[in-house]
Amino acid sequence: MKKILIISLSALILTACSEQEEYQETVLEQIKNDSDIQSYHLEPETVTKCIVELSSKKMPGIVPFDPMRKAAYKGYTKMISTKTSEKPEEILKELRESFGSAQGLSDAHRNYTSSYLECMSTVTNLELDEESTEETQE
């Protein structure tokens, strides 16, 4: 019985990890093409990691392998890729159903956007602090 439980739990964790990785890859692709990232010479990987961690805290589900969290990762991934889609209207309709309502979609978008802005601010400030520290050491 313990073996079955461990195997089932392991499968859930691996599945959740793949959903999170897909979300992280989608965010990274968006961040790499962001003009602000390029203008401030920020590392896209650092900003991406921050966004994924921060936005994940406000997603439904308690742990990464929670089915609600898995669905949230899928929804967020689809939401981010709407800009590059050929049929954004259809995707928005699917997203409203996925998040339960237009309000749920709006909340998810707000979570992602606030995470993006907070991470941009945090990473930019860290970069500026590092530059000022380097200047004072010289």
Tens digit of each residue's pLDDT (9 = 90 or more) over 76-101: 999 998 877 888 889 899 999 999 99
Provide the Cα torsion 62, 63, 68, 71; round to 10°.
Answer: 140
The verdict on residue 57 lying in a domain is yes
The verdict on residue 61 lying in a domain is yes
The verdict on residue 7 lying in a domain is no
The verdict on residue 94 lying in a domain is yes
In angstroms and rounded to an integer, the radius of gyration of the C-alpha atoms of the chain is 18
Q: What is the pTM (predicted TM-score) of this model?
A: 0.81
The verdict on residue 8 lying in a domain is no
The verdict on residue 23 lying in a domain is no
The total number of residues shown for the chain amounts to 138
The verdict on residue 59 lying in a domain is yes
Question: Residues 2-44: pLDDT tens digits?
Answer: 555 455 444 444 444 689 999 999 999 999 989 888 888 889 9
pLDDT at residue number 3: 56
Q: Token pair 């979609």 is at which residue?
A: 105
- Tally of structural domains, the chain: 1
What is the span of the domain harbouring residue 104? Answer: 41-132
The verdict on residue 33 lying in a domain is no
